[in-house]
């Protein structure tokens, strides 16, 4: 049995939520690079970031995702929270 075999496999729903979190995080971190957007004001950028952060928080609150993360945490596969 390889170490990868001991990692719990996420359900399709959890995998989609993790992908959505990654997408939103990328949007949040790249918000300063408005390549495909017209020039906007600072307030619009702040609102976009707030909405993106809210979307991430909603995804992180999902019960299935939290159970999966708890499994990974119990196996010591996630960073220790400070």
The pLDDT value given to residue 44: 75
User: 31 with 49: CB under 8 angstroms?
Assistant: yes
In a domain, 5, yes or no: no
Whether residue 3 lies inside any domain: the answer is no
Instruction: Tell me the HSE value of 46 on the side-chain side, using a 13 A CA sphere.
Output: 3
- In terms of Cβ atoms closer than 10 Å to its own Cβ (0-12, 13-18, 19+), residue 65 is buried
Residue 48 lies in a domain: yes
Q: Which of 12-21, 43-52, 73-82 has the lowest average pLDDT?
A: 43-52
Domain of residue 17 covers: 12-74
**80 falls within a domain:** no
In a domain? residue 63:
yes
Residue 31 is assigned to a structural domain of this protein: yes
3-state secondary structure 31-77: CCCCCCCCCCCHHHHHHHHHHHHHHHHHHHCCHHHHHHHHHHHHCCC
Question: Could you read off the pLDDT of 20-55 as tens digits, one per residue?
Answer: 999 988 888 875 655 555 566 667 778 888 898 999
Residue 44 included in any domain: yes
Q: How many domains does the chain have?
A: 1
Please give the average per-residue pLDDT across 64-79, as a whole number. 93
Does residue 1 fall inside a structural domain? no
């Amino acid at each position: 049995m390889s170490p990868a075999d001991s990692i719990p496999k996420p359900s399709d729903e959890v995998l989609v939520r993790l992908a959505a979190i990654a997408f939103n995080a990328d949007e949040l971190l790249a918000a300063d690079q408005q390549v495909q957007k017209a020039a906007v004001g600072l307030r619009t950028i702040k609102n976009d970031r707030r909405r993106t952060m809210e979307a991430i928080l909603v995804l992180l609150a999902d019960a299935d995702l939290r159970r999966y993360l708890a499994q990974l945490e119990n196996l010591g596969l996630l960073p220790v929270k400070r």
